[in-house]
Amino acid sequence: MPRPIQALIHLDALRHNLGRARAHAPDARVLAVVKADAYGHGIERVYPALRGADGFALLDLAEAERLRALGWRGPILLLEGAFEPRDLETVSRLGLWHVIHREAQIDWLAAHKTDVPQRVFLKLNSGMNRLGFAPQALRGAWARLDVLPQVEEISLISHFADADAGGAFDSGRPADPAGRAPRGIAAACARWLDATAGLPGERSLANSAATLRHARTRLRDAADLAGGPALEAGDAADTPLAADWIRAGVMLYGGAPDHPRRTAAQWDLRPAQTLRTRLIAVQDLQPGDTVGYGSRYRARQAMRIGIAACGYADGYPRHAPGDTECGTPVLVEGLRTRTVGRVSMDMLAVDLSPLHAAGRPAGVGAEVTLWGEGPQGSRLPIDEVAQACGTIGYELMCAVAPRVPVLTQDAAETAG
């Protein structure tokens, strides 16, 4: 008999969350971001639910091959572009779009022999300082690309460092009572407008955070709050921040990019991944008894704990707190409780006191929800677990170990 742990991928949640992305940016097209094997959910698993997107975005040529093998013939954008010159051969063969963020990539493209001109996304470094051309270098890069026969179309792209910060907009108006936008994203919008003014081509600016928080804000309104020179009205300046293409990533998988400022439930996002297991043992503790390696948790009173078949070898964070009064939240049979003691390789301990108090004592075989959808309509957001562990939901999604069996579920099919 296999261990009782398993991960569930909820296809109906993915479709719902894709719909929420469209609702926030109704005039933009959606690139579904499936990098890192669809944030740990599996490209092949999520594809049936996300093929309603207008395109996909990822990093890896092997992942692009997998999408084409699934039958996808629409746009696929390589978010970091080519890593070496020979990558462009695969780009041509698969008909991929690709980001240009440094001069060497233009050199490679100029030397690339192809009969099929390519669509490129020229990237501006608007303040993240990871990838992209400095504002003063963008036009020179654009001019180099514009004369290449290998280039069919030049689009423009950037990535905001502070889209998840405070001071969200709602329908183009600041929600902050003082009328302030986050200075970081305001300054980034000002750099963007200055660097790209007059350049043709479609634009992509908004990731999940910008889509949820700022999609309908006019770029000019955001840039004005940076404190620079006033911008005149115009087609580019009056464009909503959602622009032509949004890049929906973590929101598709049910994570709130600005948690805990706003939760996934407040954004009407549903968890696409559930990690669940069962209790394999129960222990009764007396005052002073300790739990787990290092005896980090000491019982203050008589209590019952359950041992769940999940540990750090399954992708659950070893550093999850278990030696404080709060611990890390879990659900047992849909009731909220906490971890106690250190997480070990294959097991963790949970406090069963809340179930006893509720008149619902739990024993061996009881269902434990580490995150996601629980029984009887219960839910434990992955962002809440991540916050308790001092990390982000993205990391937990991507960290579920290969040894954990994965099932897909589709409530829409079940209902039908």
Task: Compute the distance between CA of residue 199 and CA of residue 124 in angstroms, rounded to an integer.
Answer: 13
Joined together, the tokens standing for residue 156 give: 């423009």
> Any idea which residue has 């939760």 for tokens?
263
Structural contact between residues 47 and 72, judged by C-beta atoms closer than 8 angstroms = yes
68 annotated ligand-binding residue = no
1 annotated ligand-binding residue = no
Task: Compute the distance between CA of residue 199 and CA of residue 152 in angstroms, rounded to an integer.
Answer: 15
Structural contact between residues 84 and 102, judged by C-beta atoms closer than 8 angstroms = no
Task: Compute the distance between CA of residue 161 and CA of residue 196 in angstroms, rounded to an integer.
Answer: 18
The residue from 47, 293, 297, 312 that is catalytic is 293
Residue 35 annotated among the catalytic residues of the structure: yes
Task: Compute the distance between CA of residue 121 and CA of residue 286 in angstroms, rounded to an integer.
Answer: 63
Task: Report DSSP letters for 391-409, one per residue.
Answer: S-HHHHHHH--TTS-EEEE
Sign of the alpha-carbon dihedral angle for 85, 91, 92, 96: negative
Question: Reduced to 3 states, what is the DSSP secondary structure of residue 72?
Answer: coil
The residue from 35, 39, 253, 312 that is catalytic is 35
Joined together, the tokens standing for residue 129 give: 């300082």
- CA-nearest of 302, 303, 311, 301 to 280 is 311
Based on the number of CB atoms within 10 Å of its own CB, is 201 exposed (0-12), middle (13-18) or buried (19 or more)? middle
Beta-carbon contacts of residue 407 (< 8 Å; ≥ 6 apart): 6, 7, 8, 9
| Bridge partners for 156 per DSSP | 122, 203
- CA-nearest of 201, 277, 251 to 22 is 251
Decide the pairing of beta strands 169-170 and 151-158.
unpaired
Task: Compute the distance between CA of residue 152 and CA of residue 150 in angstroms, rounded to an integer.
Answer: 7
Residue 253 annotated among the catalytic residues of the structure: no
Annotated binding residues: 130, 345
Q: Which residues are tagged catalytic?
A: 35, 293
Annotated binding residues for substrate: 130, 345
